[in-house]
Structure 1
């Protein structure tokens, strides 16, 4: 087998004794040891073959005859076997024994190293599997609990919505039922009122028929009366049917009648707008044109009467006066009908015919006026007088005085107010801060979440272990040591943010700025923030969970998982954001050493705060002096996003 020049010669005892192997993390490289052992075995096989050959030679010599041992010395042996063969045999035996010992020792060492490595890997794998199992189980339980909570909320919301819908449906059903009952009741009332009105109209029609018959029998023509004259007194006539009055039955008709009257009034307004009210004064009389044929008297008073076509003819005032004088002169004269004068009877118009209101007036043929026309009295409706509102003069004067005084005082106050000027800041300051803070927040979030996960795994392992003390001191180190470990995990990120903030205002070297940041006690402030906002509340909550569990390890493990999940998902992001913005503000403040004056500027996109506005209104301040809230630089409160910059920025 060809040997590598870097490997020792297995045929040389010195080379075998000084053989060197490559050292790896887990011991000697197994492949090299195996190769070397194979080479040694090959060499040993060769030597054994050589030994058998020599033994055969020895037997051959022995067969020749006995040799005097006393006469054989070292020189004789060397002469018989050869000096080289004797040396090789001795060296081979020694080398073989040494190699066997060394190989056994190396094999034992390799086995021990492999056992230790396997044990370590097994422990690490078990711990990692336990951590991942706890994480997955915690997340699964949290998701399951969240899903259950969402399901319960959805069910409660659906039930509430169902109750609201059913309640609203029941309410609407009850309202509809009441409206239906009310409408049925109103319908009955209206039917009764209409029935009484029909009876009254029937009586009126009967009276008019009797009046026409009396006129036909006597031939008396009613006198012409001006439209504005008061109506003459009528002789009282006994009747069993009362005259219908809508106002009398208003309490029975109810709201439905009032709504109907409202619609009728609006319709009448439209009709009144179409008819010129000035034309009503000209319509003084109505000439009724009828047929000269005789009218058949009706035997049934309830039979409907067809409306006649009435022709309204305007009459001059002089004609009205002459007619009135003529009528006054012939009041006591009885006029008998003659054959030459046709008899005209006034036809009855149905005043309750609604179809008459909707139909347009039809053109009627114009007939020659008879000798004694019949006129109807038309009474003019007085217009509604507009009542002027009564106002109190004294109240108007005092109201005018109050208005003028208030306006004058307001105008003078507005003129006196001088709004303080706020320092204007370029928006690039906040843009640069966001560019530095955003990646730093992500980096710190990963680092602190890793720390919280390690603490959670340690706490869960301690809780699951038997015969362990369930106390806060046994699970975690004191708050100061705990905080120091967290600060060390984000030390580089904090320093980088502060240095980048200072470099935005200073031209100094980065190493000098790192020294300035180190002297600026940034880490001490970050340590206080982590302790007060993150870790101390965590320790208090864990202590409360331990007290609430009362020795129940499963309940404590569930509470710890929920608590750490809450800290990682909710509390940590808020604390890291405040830390990152505080670090940038502190670095920016440290970079303002050369500035003569600085000012407090408010982030236009940040949360509103009265304290920050007070600091901004304070104007220019010498670096190091306190602002009105007692702070030298932000953060003035939790969630503050303000900055302190030189006036030239």
Structure 2
């Protein structure tokens, strides 16, 4: 028999042999009559209850088997072939309607979920924007508060800084005022010491001159062998006492005391000193100064005159007496000008970001020279006049004074070396203002130490130029070295040489001083 026919025959067989099924509810468990004799009711009831349970289990197994049989007997259909008609044929129209409603509801739920998702995304974006805006507002507020706090702190720091600067300035002014007071006090004390020293020097000079006068009078009155030893001792002592440092600071003296000049230009000697063999100088040989005059070729074939012997005027002592206050005054003038110039240079360095040349610190060379000449012309003119007055029989000094000579000396001895040194300092500092300021202070400090010798040299030059300027052409002059000064290179060539104006001496000079160390003088000789 085919399987399909066999499946259809099974229910028919079951239906043919069916019999009434016992119902557990209709079982007579609780309807037994209790008799005195018979089975125990409890055991009977228990037994019947077991039977009812077994019947229920059997029925349940039957239903399961029938359902499995029905499922197995249905034709199998692929899922992808389930359309409406197949579903209707399989599950019925009602089930298909339920499935359609379920699909529609699912679509509606999906659409509603998508709408809700879109709404949630929009709400999330709005919330994010709101949070971002709130954060930006908070950041802006915090930035404003921070900026205000920073400005407050800066203002407070500026105030404290200004207070500190003010306190530092006040303290600096106080210290500077105290230093200025101490400096003024020290200057007063130094000035008092200088005055005392000057008085002592004058007293010693007066005593020396008095001793010299006494010795001269004794020699003229009664020269003897007994006085030779004291004379030599006093002569040496007077010569040594005359040697003092003319470069030391001496208190300025009002006015200049010059030797008296007669109407004819002849110097009236205030005192006379004898010439001793003790006054020896390099290249002059031994013996008196007048005996050391050497023969020189004179112009126009003239013969050399014989210098006069005897008592002569001490021109060197007179020159020292005249130039000492002038040198001291000129040194002070130099120092004042240099201090002002140094302050101007340092101020220019502080105000300039980078110094590239000397023109940014100092004026041009001519103006620079004129600055120092303007402060020294008075002393140089006085020295010029004193030199002219010291020449016996000389004419009146020319009114032009030693201007050109002073300018030349300044250019050669002070201004040009100063400018060259500053140029080297500017080049070596390479724009470093602090290093340049230190170099400038050091350079000016070195120049201040040269002022004493430079002032003496300039005034000696003006003195010698004044003495030479009043000599008539053809006058006989002799080169005399200072016996109390160290020798100079020109002494060996010029000492004792007689020439006629305007001839030159063997060293090529027309009048002393010939160099910085030269302290020689020229003396006019009678025809």
Give the TM-score, by structure 1 length.
0.33
> Quick one: higher RCO (CA 8 Å, sep 6+), 1 or 2?
2
Q: Which has the larger radius of gyration?
A: 2
Give the TM-score, by structure 2 length.
0.40
